[in-house]
Structure 1
Amino acid sequence: MGEHAHHHAVRRSYDTVAEEYVKRLHDELAGKPLDRALLAALLEQTEPGAVVADLGCGPGHIAAHLVAGGARTVGIDLSEGMVESGRQRFPGVEFRIGDLLRIPADAGEFGAAVALYSLIHLSPDELPRAVAEVARVVRPTGMFLIAFHIGEALRHLDEWWGHQVDIDFHFHAPEQVAALLESSGFTVEMCMERRNYPHEADTRRAYLLARRV
């Protein structure tokens, strides 16, 4: 499947499940203390007044959490359905429709960025281009927080919450992602792993916090 077809399938799948996604996951951060702590650490190290990008923002709940923490936030997502839901629920967040391989932002526009479980829809071959795009839009000294599932697996869904979809979930190796960040203009300052919480899918998860050089 070519890049265009692959990304179209991801977009269409998230458009399909957008309403159900909001119902099930709109308050997921309430049950993720580590995520909240890392987001707070990112904000503490971000220049006051700088814009923080939520890359692959879904319906915008993480971007809204950042706004509640005092940040100016731009949420960017491939899915029009997700973005429309976010615009309706979170007027304090600016939303843009865009692909992580072609981020709709100017060079150095953001003081920091987060990508929580959005890189999982990119194949290993696509990761270098995506990370290069993040390096382009995050200004020097800006922080970048990533979370993803650990491993080399590729999981495909044809059905999700009772809806027909066509979507791949790529697992990644933390050491490979860290090396890619280092070669793309970031210094990795933290890498940690955790097991899933009881309400999550049974996978190990990695978090990397990096600083733009």
Structure 2
Amino acid sequence: MRNNSLASVYKFHRSKIMRTLKNFKENRKDPSRVWEELVFCLCTPQTRARNALNAVEKMRSLGLLNNPDSFRTALVLKECGVRFHKTKADNILRAFRQFGDILNKLNSEKDVFKLRDYLASNVRGLGMKEASHFLRNIGFEDLSIIDRHVLSHLVSAGVVGSRPRSLTRKRYLILERKFKLYAKKSGLKPSVLDLVVWAAATGEVVK
């Protein structure tokens, strides 16, 4: 790995990262865990991952994951610091109604890139980044999560010139290819490098 700072972060967090990736693969075997990861990813846009995780845990404790209610869910999201809580609560309710179709697609579609396109096009609240995040969190490793931490790192490493103001599908795919090439040169899988970059930026491995 070229970047000494990343190398030290990887060494420090390696066991937690490997355990986290193993847990992601286990998630796919349990529909309830798949649903929790979908709710988590619907909460994450412009919101800290820890806040989104707290919201999912609070929803679980209140029985809202199995029986989501837009009003009560919005209150929980707001309490946990999830931005745009009303819109995201509506998105969660919509996704709950679609979840059978989503599960069928996950089980029938073998091409992970087609899966991502399906999710980004059909699940309100999921763009390319969030769909990639969701699929990574249920064990798919061929995608990259091009979030602000990854973009900032790619800029500082000289992989890209600057952070784009917006991410169209075309631009996302270009950045994803660059990230994968950077990961290969670093000697890490993209799924591992993503968690290393996250840990370097935040000091912890969440998901």
Tell me which protein shows more strand as a share of its residues: 1
Settle same-fold status: TM greater than 0.5: no
* Structure-1-length-normalised TM-score: 0.22
* Structure-2-length-normalised TM-score: 0.22
Tell me which protein shows more helix as a share of its residues: 2
Q: Bigger radius of gyration, 1 or 2? A: 2
